[in-house]
Structure 1
Amino acid sequence: MGAFSEGTPCWADVLLPDLRAGKRFYGELFDWTFEEQDGGSGLLGEQRAAPGSPAGPAPYTTAYRDGRRVAALAPKGDGRMPTTWNVYLATPDAVAAARRVTEAGGLVITDPVPLTGDVAVVAQAADPGGAVFSLWEAGRRHGFERQGEPGSFCWTEVYTRDKDRVDAFYETVFGFQVHDLDDASVDFRVWSPAGTTAGDENAVGGRSVITDAFPAAMPAHFLVYFSVADCDETAARAAELGGRVNEPPFDTPYGRIALIADDQGAVFAVLAEPKAA
């Protein structure tokens, strides 16, 4: 795929304590194949060299579906790191975007750093509510080569308890055009890239709210979605592979969704779009 508009999710990777187990789980669940790269090519890969970690570079493993890049798996160099999926938002200038993050009340966790081989310049940040995300300034790679098809990324949304500050943050940092869902029972704001018309046809992500219906200890976070052909079959298969179905499949106007934790605890969602009538 070509260049991504600023603020558009363009890459995702998962930080795991057991890379071999991760390859087995996601390979069988999404029909992914894998390729290891020396030196890493993603921010979580860069973080592997934590104090006390084994000497030498650990492999940052790119995942492919039908020969096209869809995501990556990175080993945890430090047990204190979270086991989690991480989403990268595109920017033409990671240094400028990191500066806007700070000015808008967020936190730059990792300053912009070039990846080996001029792959990209990446940084990691947190919004004012504490949700962590990354920035991606494309070099040789723009990010996903496949998305919106089975076995690939299709959506992301941030969950927060501080919607007013978080809404202002993302709209300032990325210039999102926004609209709120016309459903009084759901507090959800949809993001469209700057220069486009706010609406589902241009949507790249969104903001949800952590309400009292969620566990009190749940932190603010981004949730990454993967497209699947059959939500129920995928959820059942994830359980067979040692994962956990946190939220059984349910229907929405956008398709059938399930919330899943892999066999090491990293949480993601799967979405099967409505079948054509």
Structure 2
Amino acid sequence: MRLEGTPCWADAMFTDVEGAKRFYGEVLGWTFGVSSSEYGDYTQCYADGRAVAAVVPPVPGQEGQSQWCLYFASRDATATAARIREAGGQVVMEPMRVGDFGTMCLARDPGGVVFGLWQGGAHEGFEAVAEPGAYCWAEVFTREPDKSDAFFPAVFGYRAKRMEDDGVDFRLFDLGEEPVLGRMAVTDDFPPEVPSYINVYFTVPDCDAAVARATELGGTLRFGPMSTPFGRYATLSDPQGADFSVIDTTRTEGEMPKITDVS
């Protein structure tokens, strides 16, 4: 079982699910399972035969901006939901059993960042991470960093570290000795209509090739490609408006930044 607070799954709602499948199939190399009508046509995505995400049509009446949702592992979703409320967050959807697969919950931090909880059953979450086509990393992009900095450690027991960089306000949240989540303060450089959200990174073997394919298929390049000590990455919006990043972790450049414990 994954440690409480570990990112363990990602999914997104798309009005045009078939269009999303074509796009991500081409950009990330995904294949797709049979949609489950019993669970709202939820369709799992696979990288090299292993489950890495899911796509689903919106519930009628709830159509809106497509957005990736990151889920955090929970041993007891009801207890975690209580901590979310205690820390000033909002439970958007109460813990709900999904057959024998597990229990899900949707929540929002005090700054408006939406995320999910997943209490695994038969389905524990990602079957692969940090491999081509699979989830690799995520960052909370927030206009109210102080709220997120207090909230996520209170709910999941993270230890916070600050990245020493004059250009950005960036923190890392660790579980034990492992960093599991980043937090980036949204500045005035971001358009005012961009909400606080969690940006999900998927691994690719070639960042530039993935960007080229994504833009050919109607995606929009938002940032990059840029080489960093962590890999070469870029941020994109898919044709239906969902933001995500791609990263080639084998292509690194520069020295690792200094990181200071602030817990």
Asked if these proteins are the same fold (TM beyond 0.5), I'd say yes
The answer on whether the counterparts of 1:14 and 1:84 sit within 8 Å (CA) in structure 2 is yes
Q: What corresponds to 2:52 in structure 1?
A: 70
- Unpaired runs of 5+ residues, structure 1, are 41-57
Matches within 5 A, 1:43-62: 58-62=40-44
Q: Distance in 2 between matches of 1:180 and 1:92?
A: 28
Q: Residue 106 of structure 1 corresponds to which residue in structure 2?
A: 89
CA deviations 1:119-151 (Å, max 9, x no partner) are: 011100000000100001111111000110111
Which whole-Å CA distance do the structure 2 matches of 1:213 and 1:39 have between them? 43
The residue number in structure 1 matching 2:132 is 150
Deviation readout 1:14-63 (Å, 9 max, x if unpaired): 110001111111111111111122322xxxxxxxxxxxxxxxxx411000
Partner of 1:11: 9
Q: 1:250 & 1:276 partners in 2: Cα distance?
A: 10
Matched with 1:32 is: 30
Alignment-derived partner of residue 256 in structure 2: none
Match 2:73 to one of 85, 90, 105:
90
In 2, are the aligned partners of 1:108 and 1:124 still within 8 Å (CA)? yes
- Please give the per-residue CA displacement for 1:89-139, whole angstroms capped at 9, x wherever unaligned: 1110100000000010000000000002x1011100000000100001111
Q: Distance in 2 between matches of 1:211 and 1:223?
A: 15
3-state DSSP of counterpart to 1:39: helix
Counterpart mapping for 1:178-217 below 5 A? 178-193=160-175, 196-197=176-177, 202-217=178-193
Is 2:111 the counterpart of 1:129? Answer: yes
Is 2:228 the counterpart of 1:252?
A: yes
Helix, strand or coil at the partner of 2:94:
strand
CA deviation vs aligned residue, 1:253-276 (integer Å, no higher than 9, x gap): 211111111121111001111438
| Residue pair 2:43, 2:56 contacting (<8 A) in 1 also | yes
Deviates more, 1:31-40 or 1:207-216: 31-40
Please state whether the residue corresponding to 1:217 is helix, strand or coil: coil
Does structure 1 conserve the Cα–Cα contact (< 8 Å) formed by 2:231 and 2:252?
A: no
Question: Deviation of residue 79 (structure 1)?
Answer: 5.0
Secondary structure of the equivalent of 1:98?
helix
Normalised to the residue count of structure 2, the TM-score between the two structures is 0.92
Question: SS at the partner of 2:150?
Answer: helix
In 1, Cα distance between the equivalents of 2:15 and 2:252? 40
Q: Distance in 1 between matches of 2:195 and 2:248?
A: 26
CA contact (8 A) 2:15 2:63 kept: no
In structure 2, what is the Cα distance between the partners aligned to 1:139 and 1:76? 24
Question: After the TM superposition, which of the residue ranges 180-189 and 145-154 deviates more from structure 2?
Answer: 180-189
What SS does structure 1 have at the residue aligned with 2:32? strand
Give the whole-Å Cα distance in 2 for the aligned partners of 1:133 and 1:275.
30
* Equivalences, count: 251
Distance apart, 1:7 and its partner CA = 0.8
Which secondary structure does the structure 2 equivalent of 1:101 belong to?
A: helix
DSSP-derived class of the 1:151 partner: coil
Gaps of 5+ in 2: 254-263
Amino acid at match of 2:167: S
Q: How far apart are the structure 2 equivalents of 1:235 and 1:263? A: 13
Aligned to 1:55: none
**1:194-217 Cα deviation digits (max 9, x unpaired):** xx13xxxx1111111011111122
1: CA distance, partners of 2:85 / 2:141: 20
What's the secondary structure of 1:137's corresponding residue? strand
Cα deviation, residue 237, structure 1? 0.3
Q: Specify the SS of the correspondent of 1:203.
A: strand
User: Secondary structure in 2 aligned to 1:142?
Assistant: coil
**Structure 2 match to 1:266:** 242
Q: CA separation of 1:191/1:276 partners in 2, compared to 1, >3 Å: closer, same or farther?
A: closer
CA distance in 2 between partners of 1:159 and 1:13 (Å): 18
Cα distance in 2 for partners of 1:149, 1:59 equals 26
Once residues 165 and 23 of structure 1 are traced to their aligned partners in structure 2, the CA distance between those partners, rounded to angstroms, is: 35
| Identity in percent | 44
